[in-house]
Structure 1
Amino acid sequence: MKASYEKLVPDDGQSFRCFNRAKLKSPVKWHRHPEVELTYIPTGVGSRMVGDHIGSYTDHELVLLGSGLPHTWASDEYREQTYDRHTAFVLQFHPEFLGSDFFSLNELVDVHQLLQRSSRGLWFPAAVAQPIGEQIMELADQRGANRLITLLSILNDLSQIVDAEPLASSLYRVSYNEQAETRIRTICDHITENLTDPDLSHSELADLAEMNASAFSRFFKQSTGRTASAYINELRIGFACRLLTETDDSILSISQQSGYQNLSNFNRRFQQHRKMTPREYRNRFRTTV
């Protein structure tokens, strides 16, 4: 998927950024930047998009993103609102902010390999995310050399985690066609803003892209690695999962709230994406809490 370029500038007296996204009054869009990013979400549910990966996130979300890797998070709480103000602590640093060879030092071999693996995005289990997240939140309030010491400590700790999961597929490659980026960003933003509308259609998206239906299908598949229908279904099923686990609404009601007019279609799509029925998903979640 193509993404808009975001220029990041650290505050005066700082060589890298660490902040709480909830304090920013700006929309969260599909974007990329040369900085490495580590994002920690203490609480919340929603959708995560990294490269050609689409997934759902819950409490203690921790993801490391390599330089230039397109990404965004969309919280269910702020869906269809102008600004996404969910709490997310974000740490961003340029790969060469300490010099072009710093991370190649012998003492930093493990960290260097971690940053290389982050080119696909790395998701860390909650047991790892929570203590690392606490360090990130502390870093956001630190000053002087303590900031740098904490950053290196965090990276060193993450480099020792063996069960981090890559997100984007091994075949994913970043593309920098500005015109295509603008077009696909407009389409994906439109899908996110109208996700629960059952009338959201392929022809509507093709018109928005100013393409005929077949050309749009090829363009979207080349840009995202999936069809527009598959992309929409992945996001809708993620939204439905949140409703199943956080509400007592009926399966029929949830299917409708998620943009499905037909319950059978919803059940089929849910089974396809979660390998279980909506009722089984709800029962399994409530058994584990």
Structure 2
Amino acid sequence: MKPSYEKLMPASGQSFRCFDRSRLRSPVKWHRHPEIELTYIPCGSGSRIVGDHIDSYTDHDLVLCGSQLPHTWASDEYRGKQYDRHRALVTQFHPDFLGTEFFGTDEMRDIACLLQRADRGLWFPTPMAIEIGRQIESLMHCTGAERLIGLLKILDGLSRCKDAVSLTSELYCVTQRAAASDATESRIQSICDHIASHLSDPDLSQRELAELADMNASAFSRFFKQSTGRTPSAYIGELRIGLSCRLLTDTDDSVLSICHQSGFANLSNFNRRFRQLRGMTPRDYRTRFRTTFDSSERQGRKRKQPA
């Protein structure tokens, strides 16, 4: 899937960008840019796509994307409310914004390693995300040298995290660099938008997407798999399972109702796909999540009680 190219410009006199994405009017699209990007979502849910990695996100999502790595966050709209504008704190900086040799110095060795690993996208666990999130909040209000020092402190903290998880496959990074092209970006963007707006439609088909791309079915399938590392049906299926996970945790709707809301035509296929991707049944997923959530809530209430 060819991402659209995004031209980023820091504010006048600044060397990097730090802003709240919810304040911008432009929609979030599948895109890439030369800048390295750190995105923190304090509160919200939806689907996150980084390279060939597709997953759900919830509160305290923190991801570092390397230069030219395609990505997008698609927030939830499934309950008839507009979630496009939940907060997303974004920091973007060019790899050479401090000079071509800066991150090559001995003092910056660990950060340079971090930025290299970010070529595959890095997800950070919640405790680290919360701490870095606080620093990003503070960074948004900093000026002068304090602003630059704040960014380096954030990168230093991330470089010390041993539990960061790489998101994209190694193969994707190699093929994406080789296959980058602007020729079909508008066509692919239309396909992405169409899938997102018809995710709950069980009749959404590869033939329909191929016609939208003005390609025959076999050519479209090869093109899609070469670009994303998965077939169109697998891509749609992963997004639908991600949607069903959020419905299971956020609503009391029946499993059958969630099956249909997520775009699956029948319950048996839904259960099979869910078990393949999540390693358990939808009912077990709901039970496990709510047991964990209730336990966390009780612990939270105990911590708030006065001594």
* Same fold by TM-score greater than 0.5: yes
Distance, in Å, in 1 between the alignment partners of 2:79 and 2:187 is: 21
Check whether the contact 2:75–2:83 (CA below 8 A) recurs between aligned residues. Answer: no
Comparing both chains, which one has the higher relative contact order based on Cα–Cα distances under 8 Å and sequence gaps of 6 or more?
Answer: 1
TM-superposed CA distance for 1:244, in Å, is: 0.2
Corresponding position of 1:155: 155
Corresponding position of 1:187: 191
Comparing 244-253 and 82-91, the one that deviates more: 82-91
Distance, in Å, in 1 between the alignment partners of 2:15 and 2:81 is: 33
Check whether the contact 1:79–1:193 (CA below 8 A) recurs between aligned residues. Answer: no
Check whether the contact 1:78–1:85 (CA below 8 A) recurs between aligned residues. Answer: no
Say whether residues 1:59 and 2:63 are aligned partners: no
Letter in 2 for 1:152: L
TM-superposed CA distance for 1:261, in Å, is: 1.9
TM-superposed CA distance for 1:192, in Å, is: 1.2
TM-superposed CA distance for 1:141, in Å, is: 1.5
**Deviation digits for residues 195-240 of structure 1 (CA, Å, limit 9, x no counterpart):** 1112211111010011111111111111111010000000000000
Distance, in Å, in 2 between the alignment partners of 1:79 and 1:204 is: 26
TM-superposed CA distance for 1:86, in Å, is: 1.9
1:253 to 249, 254, 257: 257
Letter in 1 for 2:190: T
Corresponding position of 1:76: 76
Distance, in Å, in 1 between the alignment partners of 2:79 and 2:72 is: 13
Check whether the contact 1:52–1:168 (CA below 8 A) recurs between aligned residues. Answer: yes
Corresponding position of 2:208: 204
Corresponding position of 1:116: 116
> Paired residues, what number?
289
Superposed, 1:200-239 pairs within 5 Å as 200-239=204-243
Q: Gapped runs of 5+ residues in structure 1?
A: none
**Deviation digits for residues 168-208 of structure 1 (CA, Å, limit 9, x no counterpart):** 00111323211233332221221112111122111110100
Q: Pairwise CA RMSD of aligned residues? A: 1.5
**Deviation digits for residues 62-103 of structure 1 (CA, Å, limit 9, x no counterpart):** 000100000000011479999921210000000001000001
Check whether the contact 1:52–1:172 (CA below 8 A) recurs between aligned residues. Answer: yes
Comparing 69-78 and 141-150, the one that deviates more: 69-78
2:281 to 246, 253, 277: 277
Distance, in Å, in 1 between the alignment partners of 2:224 and 2:64 is: 26
Q: Gapped runs of 5+ residues in structure 2?
A: 294-307
Distance change (3 Å), C-alpha of 1:18 and 1:44: same
The TM-score, its normalising length taken from structure 2, stands at 0.91
Letter in 2 for 1:144: G
**Deviation digits for residues 86-131 of structure 1 (CA, Å, limit 9, x no counterpart):** 2100000000010000011111100000000000000000011001
Distance change (3 Å), C-alpha of 1:13 and 1:36: same
Say whether residues 1:178 and 2:170 are aligned partners: no
Check whether the contact 2:172–2:228 (CA below 8 A) recurs between aligned residues. Answer: no
Say whether residues 1:87 and 2:91 are aligned partners: no
Comparing 137-146 and 235-244, the one that deviates more: 137-146
Check whether the contact 1:33–1:67 (CA below 8 A) recurs between aligned residues. Answer: yes
Letter in 1 for 2:254: S
Check whether the contact 1:27–1:82 (CA below 8 A) recurs between aligned residues. Answer: no
Letter in 1 for 2:164: A
Distance, in Å, in 1 between the alignment partners of 2:206 and 2:81 is: 23
The TM-score, its normalising length taken from structure 1, stands at 0.97
Corresponding position of 1:38: 38
Check whether the contact 2:36–2:67 (CA below 8 A) recurs between aligned residues. Answer: yes
TM-superposed CA distance for 1:251, in Å, is: 0.2
Letter in 2 for 1:280: D
What SS is found at the alignment partner of 1:178? Answer: coil
Comparing 192-201 and 81-90, the one that deviates more: 81-90
What SS is found at the alignment partner of 1:47? Answer: strand
Corresponding position of 2:300: none
**Deviation digits for residues 116-160 of structure 1 (CA, Å, limit 9, x no counterpart):** 000000000001100101101111121111110100000000000
Check whether the contact 2:77–2:83 (CA below 8 A) recurs between aligned residues. Answer: no
In the TM superposition, structure 1's runs of 4+ consecutive aligned residues that sit over 6 Å from their partners are: 78-83
Distance, in Å, in 1 between the alignment partners of 2:200 and 2:274 is: 15
Check whether the contact 1:51–1:69 (CA below 8 A) recurs between aligned residues. Answer: yes
How high is the sequence identity, in percent, across the aligned residues? 67
